[in-house]
Chains A and B, each alone.
Chain A
């Protein structure tokens, strides 16, 4: 008993250096920055008061939440269909599918945003093709608005949605599906009553991951939004770098951190969070 406890302590000691390093160089500076939100321009809560009084602060939060929820919903929808297809594919085909999902993940977010600009702008590929085939007479406004931002973000997020869902789908015993069919259920019933509930933990995990990731998006909205849509990350950058209103910028950063931790706390009750961070069940 004592020996086991001792071994346990030993393991903890092993991660102690990493823990101290993180505290000294990561957690402490972040706390220091977040503390500015209470001390500038005067000590007090006036920066947080803006959350309730400033229309512009509320608008930035509203825009961010709206775009993130739409992105999450679309990424889950597309990702689910992909993951479903991959999970049920043969081993040989599956590898190619997974490669196709992973390849975009390795391309820089900047490159991908500019690629979308090239596709979606007035003289871009999409508009040119539609104009030449006579489908439209005037170029469509596909970019420099929230539509463009959502397209870019969903494209970025789909792989993050696929991977947790695929992991959870692959744990589903295929014999259960066969058994349900054997008991007379239709294909749809098998999916709705057996497969979907069993894959729900992966769905929730993917949703949390995609949503949290989307909250901090900076580059994609900055490039595809045409300057007209401001999400929190860019707003914080603006306050800190250009307007030197650090109190306000750090207030929003604190809100962002709290929002992320709260989301994690709520969903950690519903789903095994270790799945999010790549640990197998």
Chain B
């Protein structure tokens, strides 16, 4: 979110541009705000075209700037890509579009939100004349109202110290409290949890969708008393690290951190992982217009940068040429490496988009009931 100080700086610059204050006054004012230097670049930036990319904070802010923003800016002189870490939730995008004052160009959203918001006519459709469908590994990564420059997966992670004779390898094992006793960790979100429950019910992972919502909810209800639920990535990491849960379904990026810091004590399995696209969406009426489509196209079409992001943050590349570029030691942690992708399930964003609102409300009712 923009800080009050940032707003002061913007206000001062606006006044200067309109000639309401002299350069000397401006400099004095900026110095008082502690941002005196860098004025020249800001002034120059005002002449440039600017795109605003919105992420969820943390090191994503830095990483997206480096691997998405910078390559595009250096290929297109006069364009600047700035990062905003407000967290573009569906509700925030909706209120921004409906207020008619759209300041965001490209938002790190999700397949579900892209269907939800797209259905409400709040998003700009992807122009597939500019963005190339061939730049992604599968159809779930290029949707009508969003496309995915990265992928992630909900994987099963477990504490090897608790299971010296071999840990759980599938969602059926996850549900087996007798063979693998202990507290489970699930996300307080139907998407991911119900997919796993459906697999635990024995449905063929290659033919998983549509999910039987009622049966999957009942399956989660079975183990509800033995579960804790996470709502943020860092929280999921903490639950496993501190032994609050012996196994869990968490994002592969967090599983990687746990596995590396514990020297393999916390292991994750790709088998039946739920592979999802990291969908970026454009709010309807985004200020950058078509330029944002070109930025998105560059994000999808740049395998080197995607591999860089994998090494830096852990997000899996989605460009078909990327997997071969991944250094050997990172392949184990790449969700879209052919070896790993083969055993996972590609989540059906369309099905979830149509069913998310109701299924998630029912899921949360069940979890908190």
Contacts and interface: CB of A to CB of B under 8 A. Distances in A.
Nearest to A59: B369
A144 interface: yes
A123 B242 contact: yes
Interface string B69-83: 000000000000000
27 contacts: A56-B364, A56-B369, A59-B368, A60-B368, A63-B368, A121-B244, A122-B244, A226-B229, A227-B188, A227-B229, A227-B230, A227-B368, A228-B227, A228-B228, A228-B368, A241-B92, A242-B90, A243-B360, A243-B361, A244-B90, A244-B94, A244-B117, A244-B120, A244-B357, A245-B357, A245-B361, A246-B94
Interface string B208-247: 0000000000000000000111110000000000111000
A230 interface: yes
A241 B243 CA distance: 31
Contacts of A245: 357, 361
A241 B92 CA distance: 7
A56 B89 CA distance: 23
B116 interface: yes
Contact of A242 (B89, B228, B242): B89
B238 to A, nearest CB: 8
Interface in B65-112: 89-92, 94
A208 B117 CA distance: 41
Given A121-B242, A241-B92, A227 B231 contact: yes
B357 A243 contact: yes
A256 interface: no
Contacts of A242: 89-91, 360
A198 interface: no
Interface in A130-166: 144
B359 to A, nearest CB: 11
Which of A226, A228, A229 has most chain B Cβ within 10 Å? A226
B183 to A, nearest CB: 8
Classify chain B's interface size.
20 to 34
Given A122-B243, A244-B94, 10 more contacts: A56-B361, A227-B231, A230-B368, A238-B364, A242-B89, A243-B361, A244-B117, A245-B361, A246-B91, A246-B94
B172 interface: no
A123 B242 CA distance: 7
B367 interface: yes
Interface in B270-290: none
A69 interface: no
A157 B93 CA distance: 35
B365 interface: yes
Interface in B170-189: 188
Nearest to B227: A228
Contacts of A55: 365
B89 A229 contact: no
B95 to A, nearest CB: 9
A144 B244 contact: yes
Given A122-B243, A123-B243, A227 B228 contact: yes
Given A240-B91, A241-B89, A244-B91, A227 B357 contact: no
A77 interface: no
Contacts of B92: 241
Contacts of A59: 365, 368-369
A238 B89 CA distance: 10
A14 B347 CA distance: 62
A122 B369 CA distance: 23
Interface string A243-268: 11110000000000000000000000
Interface pairs A-B: 5 shortest CB-CB: A227-B229, A241-B91, A56-B365, A230-B368, A227-B188
A101 interface: no
Contacts of B227: 228
A56 B367 CA distance: 11
Contact of B367 (A63, A228, A241): A228
Contact of B116 (A122, A144, A244): A244
A98 interface: no
A51 interface: no
Interface in B183-197: 188
A221 B198 CA distance: 30
Contacts of B357: 243-245
